[in-house]
Amino acid sequence: MSNAEQTLRLLRELERLDHEAGSDEASSSGAQVTAAALLEALVESDFNLTAAIVGVRNGD
C-alpha cells in the first residue's frame, strides 16, 4: 500500500468520525470537496494541484 493510500485511509476514517460527530457542515454554496477526495485527485494527477481541482469529485 502506497504512502498516499495509507494517508487516504486515515482521512476517510476522519471523515467517518466527523460524520458520526455530526460536524460535517454542508457549505452554503452546496459544493463540497472533502480532503480525502482532493488527496485522491492529487494522487491521480501526481500532485498536480490544478489538474486535481479539475478532476476532483464534489458533493454537489
Partner 1 sequence: MAIEVHVVSKASGGLKIINHIPPERPCRLEGRNGIGKSALVRLLLLISGVQPYPGEPALWQSLRKLVGETEITITGLSSKHSSATVRLTPDAWPDERPPESIGNWLGVLTLDGQEMPAQRLFELLDVVHLTGTERLIDTLKQQSGRLAVDLSDVADRLNALEAQRAELGELADQLHLISPREADSERQRSEQVAAERRQVEADLHAAQPVAEDLSRAAALTALVETGDAAEHQRRLQKLREALQVARQRLETAEANHDDAIAALGKGTAAQREVAKRERRLGAIGKAMERLLARQEQLGARLESLQIPIDVDVLNAVQQAALDNAFGPALERQRRLQVQAARNYRTQAENRLLDDVRVVLDDAVEAGLGSTILAQVNSQEITVTDLRGGLGFLAEVGDHEVEELATVTRDLAELTELRELFAQRAALQEEDAQLRLDLQRLEPEAAMHDELRRKAAEARSAQDAANAEVRSYLLQIGAMSRSALGGDDIIDVEAHIRELLAKHDVDAATLPTALFDAQAKVRDLQKRDEDLEVAAERLSASAVRRRVQRETLRRRSESDESLKWLSQLAAVLTPVIGKAAASIEWPDETWQRLADHVAASRSALLDLVRDVSGLKTLAPQLPSGTGRLASAIKSVIEADALAELSAEPIAKALFDEGNVRRVDLDEQSITWTTPAGETRTRPLAAFSSGDQALGFIRARLQQIVDRPSANRLVFLDEFGAFISADRRRPLADLLTSEELRTLAEQVVVVLPLQSDYASELGQTTGALHEVYERRARAVEDHGYFAEVFIG
Residues that bind partner 1 (CB under 8 A): 2-4, 6-7, 9-11, 13-14, 17-18, 21, 27, 29-35, 37-39, 42, 47, 49-54, 56, 58, 60
Give the integer Cα–Cα distance in Å for 36 and 42.
10
Considering the complex, what minimum distance in angstroms separates the CB of residue 34 from partner 1? Answer: 6
Smallest gap from Cβ 22 to partner 1, in A, equals 12
Closer to partner 1 by Cβ: residue 7 or 44: 7
What is the residue-wise DSSP string for 1-60? --HHHHHHHHHHHHHHHHHHHT--PPPTTS----HHHHHHHHHHTTS-HHHHHHH-----
